[in-house]
Amino acid sequence: MVDDAAARRRRGRRRIVGTIRVPASSANLGPGFDVLGMAVDRYLEVDFAEEGVGSEDHLTMRVFRKFGGTGGLKISSTIPPARGLGFSGAARVAGLLAAAVQKGSSLEDCRRWLFLEATELEGHPDNVAPSVFGGVTVAVGDRVEQVQLGLQATVVLWIPKTLSGTRESRGKLPSMVSMEDAVFNMGRTALLIAALTSGDTEMLAMASEDRLHQEIRLQSLPDTAAAIDAATDAGAWCSWLSGSGPTAAALCEPSQAQRIADALPRGAEVSISHIDMRGAVYE
């Protein structure tokens, strides 16, 4: 009987049991362009499998292969791609973590490595940081800090069917901004972190204002602009363009979430979600 080479590889490979789960993210939170992000409880999940499971074209699989992963992956996701919820960041983190787990690394030993490598692949850290560490994160260069939240909040997501490419959206932004606008955003970002830490929800509407990217991006997303206004009119503490859009995100008192969701424009998925505090997990 001829011993098949693929069969020999399968017999020699350590069988790995467990699921990798990486949360979605909402970046910028208004003024924190390329710096702030929030992990949200939608997930990309990966299970290890034999060859032939999972498309080699999937971003998670491509990253898994790039970093030495062998065998197959079973990949599922509730994070819609190209909607401003960090699908590509989560996919890259998942592929990296799968490769690391297969080589015997523990998650806690490689969490910082996940952030650094995924940021290099993604090109900016605002989505990657919350997907790796969870919660609300501040990412500057190779440094990440998790904001200690002083409030209980629900996240309401308005997710239209239209797509938005990050590269195309970023291409619309100016390479230079005025001193006035730069100071405006620095102040709002500092105020936003202070409000989230102290739990002063009355500050959040002012703290989430932006002059660097939202207004430009929303010019081509009028329905998203309407959703942001509708959320705050219905009582949300604040609302912002999630990443490059077209999703709108709103932060609110948990008891008000359904009322705010009901007030958002029709024709899009509305999701009452929560801040994921764990980040990437393997269990």
Instruction: Reply yes or no on whether the pLDDT at 283 is more than 70.
Output: yes
Sequence-ordered list of residues with C-beta below 8 angstroms from that of 68, at least 6 positions apart, any chain = 99, 102, 103
pTM above 0.85, yes or no: yes
Q: What is the reported pLDDT for 12? A: 43
Q: How far is CA 130 from CA 53, 118, 123, 215, in A?
A: 28, 12, 15, 24
Structure tokens at 235: 């009582």
Q: What is the reported pLDDT for 66? A: 97
pLDDT category of residue 164 using cuts at 50, 70 and 90? confident
Instruction: Reply yes or no on whether the pLDDT at 52 is more than 80.
Output: no
Instruction: Reply yes or no on whether the pLDDT at 1 is more than 60.
Output: no
Is the distance from CB of 118 to CB of 93 less than 8 angstroms? Answer: yes
Strand pairing class (36-49; 19-27): antiparallel
Closest CA to 231 of 265, 266, 202, 206: 265
- CA-based end-to-end distance of the chain: 39
Q: What is the reported pLDDT for 96? A: 98
Question: What mean pLDDT value characterizes the chain?
Answer: 92
pLDDT in tens, 167-196: 666 667 778 899 999 999 999 999 999 999
185 alpha-carbon distance from chain centroid? 21
Instruction: Reply yes or no on whether the pLDDT at 205 is more than 50.
Output: yes
- d(C-alpha 64, C-alpha 45), whole Å: 14
Burial degree of 265 (CB within 10 A; 0-12, 13-18, 19+): middle
Q: What is the reported pLDDT for 8? A: 42
Q: For each of the domains in the chain, give its residue range(s) and CATH number, in order of start.
A: 6-146+278-282 (3.30.230.10), 154-273 (3.30.70.890)
Q: What is the mean pLDDT of residues 19-25?
A: 98
Residue 260: DSSP 8-state:
H
Instruction: Reply yes or no on whether the pLDDT at 267 is more than 80.
Output: yes
Q: What is the reported pLDDT for 13? A: 52
Q: How far is CA 211 from CA 32, 189, 214, 236, 247, in A?
A: 10, 11, 7, 20, 18
pLDDT category of residue 10 using cuts at 50, 70 and 90? very low
Is the distance from CB of 60 to CB of 94 less than 8 angstroms? Answer: yes
Q: Tell me which H or E stretch contains 226.
A: helix 222-233
Q: Tell me which H or E stretch contains 49.
A: strand 36-49
